[in-house]
Structure 1
Amino acid sequence: MRKTAIRLADGRELLYYDARDGAARDAADPRPLAPAGRGTELRTDPLLGDTVAIASHRQERTYHPPPGLCPLCPSRDGRPTEIPAADYEVVVLENRFPAFAGPGRCEVVCFTADHDGSFAALDDERAALVLAAWTDRTAELSALPGIGQVYCFENRGAEIGVTLAHPHGQIYAYPFVPPRTERVLASAVAHRRRTGRNLFDDVVAAEEADGRRVVLSGEHWTAFVPYAAHWPYEVHLHPRRRVPDLTALGAAARAELPVLQRELLRRFDRLFGPGAPPTPYVSGWHQAPVRHPLRAEYGLHLEVFTVRRTPGKLKFLAGSESGMNVFINDVPPEAAAERLREAASE
């Protein structure tokens, strides 16, 4: 893998990731952009203890640009975009409208220059390159002072709230440990005290032994619908050998992962039958918090879920979910797993 770093007109960093040497990556950004540097205020909820980012500048971010004006497509025909090159493989750049900045960092990951592509449609080499970029960014962002956790994720679909249709994901280097992770760690500590074992190891072993909610398996990975799934269709993909984050994956598990991840996303797209629009989803890598005393108890895993519960109907987070964080799932996890098994590639 070759990595080339440049600076955009406002000072933000952009990184080109290429599978091999040879591509020209020296094009300059000609846009007259003001220097980056808008800040975010972090506030703590006195009742819940949660950290909330106040980021008013994000009101100005690009919202569903018209055809031909996508900021994540390559710069072509005299139309400069966020990416100065006329073509690219994988690009990571600092978000122009970050939720966190100093401390913290927000990055955009462009999977392909093809505006109409998708992660599931990538070939083996490109999917592996995206994984290499996630891994590299996890290592570099984790080394920054003040970072609590690195989260690599993709939001896909307008129903999720995506404002740019180009196939891309994001990386958040949180300057704190997010509430979800704190709750998981608390559960892991309680499980260790009660049983003497690791919670992630026991969850994966129990799902594999039960089998009803297992969706797909490889030699090094297993994917299942959680026993108490929050979302209509939700799958967790775990390595069979627990590791804290993407940087710790072995070569064999790393090689197998892109195939299984793309197959999982293709199954989500087949859930609602031929002719259905692409399934909206969130796909995110949960990694162990950085420099945390309980880091060794955490297990890397991918979570994929959709807000679509049936053709033409969405799962809305209404009173109970939004107001009290108590989820009510209309699709039994066992039924969801069966549907996802039936959606396997031919």
Structure 2
Amino acid sequence: MTGDIFNTPLEGRARGFYRRDHAKADGRALRIYGYAPHLGLPGEELLASASDQSEVRRDPMRGTYSLYAPHRQTRTFNPSAAADPLAPAGGAVTEIPFSDFELAIFDNRFPSLKPGAPAGALTGWAEGPATGRCEVVVYTSAAEGSLHTIGQDRRVLLLEALIDRYQALHDDGAAYVMPFENRGEQVGVTLPHPHGQIYSFPFVPAPQAAAAKAFAAGYDLTADHAGWGGRFDVTSAGGVAAFCPPFARFPYETWIMPTRRCPGPWAMTGEEIEALATLLGDVPRRMDALFGAPMPYMMSFQAAPGGESAGFQFTVQFYPILRDAGRLKYLASVEQFTGVFTVDVVPEAAAERLRAP
């Protein structure tokens, strides 16, 4: 039922905050997060089509999964500023029917994964319907900005909101939850409004399953990092470090990590959350300074599957796709067919350059 809204005070790791829940007429959830209770009545809002249907197929040779979602062909593509679907209410009808907000998370109107996805006319190759969730995380009501420019308070609020969603999605039985951000047209971004996404998978993807297996077998990334002697470090704050891993696959690839064993942001202290928020802004700032222009990148939170620790080490990973000013790092035949990357900038040199700005 639409209009079912309230404000819940929540105790965060770093700071207290509130969540307002709004149920859209199409059944999708919208959550407004802020340091103060969110007020105001909702207006008109964008609604989803009932025709979406997805399925999961497994590659028996690679052991990987693919999601097939034909309805996503009609998703929003490079709208005008006046038609920004992530803007607050006041102009065109948008996803967020309020005149202002601090941070919002809502169910994607064009999801690859959907709760209770209908089986429908599944093909003979399907493992089953693509159940799960795809959520959009809107960092700010402003039409422009970045993880750096939104400021420390908003980054802390973002982390608190992500922890809230991690806990809810794990409680719902998600096998793997991955918050992420794509930045820049070169990465394929079609909505310039500052935002990220959350995918909640019904299975653990192959790379994360491999990482979980390595950690469960005893691999300790924090011990490895300590043994590198600072050679690959970029910066640090409050028990959290940013570094270019010696096995990086992208030029200027940078990871952020608590320097103690930690399965996910939900297990971090308030001080560590503040430090992580600082580095979430500082790393993009340093990348932008490299070539004097916004760095296009892919960023993801890599936390323990299902919320279980089993020795898993939480990291935030940035994959920039510029190897030099105006020069993209392309994933061509060798990388795509073998998974063996050719990297033009050695990680220790990348770390040295990123330390400078």
Q: What is the count of residue pairs matched by the alignment?
A: 326
Distance 1:261 1:16 in 2: 21
- 2:69 equivalent in structure 1: 55
For 1:4-36, what per-residue CA distance to the aligned partner results, in whole angstroms no more than 9, with x for missing partners? 111223221000001112x324314355x4554
Q: CA deviation at 1:325?
A: 1.0
Q: CA deviation at 1:219?
A: 2.7
Equivalent AA in structure 2 for residue 312 of structure 1:
G
Distance 1:159 1:152 in 2: 20
238-247 or 86-95: bigger deviation: 238-247
Are residue 317 (structure 1) and residue 336 (structure 2) matched? no
CA gap 1:90/1:64 in 2 versus in 1, 3 angstroms: same
Q: CA deviation at 1:320?
A: 0.5
Equivalent AA in structure 1 for residue 194 of structure 2:
P
- 1:257 equivalent in structure 2: 276
Aligned positions of 1:70-219 closer than 5 A? 70-77=84-91, 79-102=92-115, 103-145=131-173, 147-190=174-217, 192=218, 198-207=219-228, 209=229, 211-219=230-238
For 1:258-317, what per-residue CA distance to the aligned partner results, in whole angstroms no more than 9, with x for missing partners? 1122111100110113xx3x110112110000066xx32211111012111111110111
Distance 1:34 1:73 in 2: 17
Q: Is the 8 A contact 1:11 1:36 kept in 2?
A: no
For 1:205-233, what per-residue CA distance to the aligned partner results, in whole angstroms no more than 9, with x for missing partners? 223x2x21110012311111011110011
Picking from 9, 33, 40, the partner of 1:17 is 33
Picking from 61, 77, 81, the partner of 1:67 is 81
Distance 1:11 1:29 in 2: 15
Q: CA deviation at 1:182?
A: 1.4
- 1:195 equivalent in structure 2: none
Are residue 6 (structure 1) and residue 22 (structure 2) matched? yes
Distance 1:257 1:188 in 2: 22
Distance 1:186 1:2 in 2: 37
Q: CA deviation at 1:326?
A: 0.9
**Could you state the TM-score of these two structures normalised by the residue count of structure 1?**
0.90
- 1:290 equivalent in structure 2: 306
Q: Is the 8 A contact 2:147 2:280 kept in 1?
A: no
Q: Is the 8 A contact 2:182 2:298 kept in 1?
A: yes
Q: CA deviation at 1:38?
A: 2.1
Q: Is the 8 A contact 2:261 2:311 kept in 1?
A: no
Gaps of 5+ in 2: 1-16, 116-130
Picking from 299, 310, 317, the partner of 1:303 is 317
Secondary structure in structure 2 of the residue aligned to 1:82:
coil
CA gap 1:30/1:268 in 2 versus in 1, 3 angstroms: closer
For 1:135-175, what per-residue CA distance to the aligned partner results, in whole angstroms no more than 9, with x for missing partners? 10111011113x11111111110011111000000011111
Equivalent AA in structure 1 for residue 225 of structure 2:
V
- 1:231 equivalent in structure 2: 250
Gaps of 5+ in 1: 193-197
Q: CA deviation at 1:186?
A: 3.0
Q: CA deviation at 1:87?
A: 1.1
For 1:64-117, what per-residue CA distance to the aligned partner results, in whole angstroms no more than 9, with x for missing partners? 11221110011114x210110111100000011111113210100000011012
Equivalent AA in structure 1 for residue 148 of structure 2:
A
Q: Is the 8 A contact 1:215 1:223 kept in 2?
A: yes
Are residue 27 (structure 1) and residue 47 (structure 2) matched? no
CA gap 1:104/1:148 in 2 versus in 1, 3 angstroms: same
Are residue 245 (structure 1) and residue 264 (structure 2) matched? yes
Q: Is the 8 A contact 2:53 2:70 kept in 1?
A: no
Equivalent AA in structure 2 for residue 26 of structure 1:
L
**Could you state the TM-score of these two structures normalised by the residue count of structure 2?**
0.87
Q: Is the 8 A contact 1:281 1:306 kept in 2?
A: yes
Secondary structure in structure 2 of the residue aligned to 1:233:
coil
Q: CA deviation at 1:49?
A: 1.1
Distance 1:25 1:200 in 2: 47
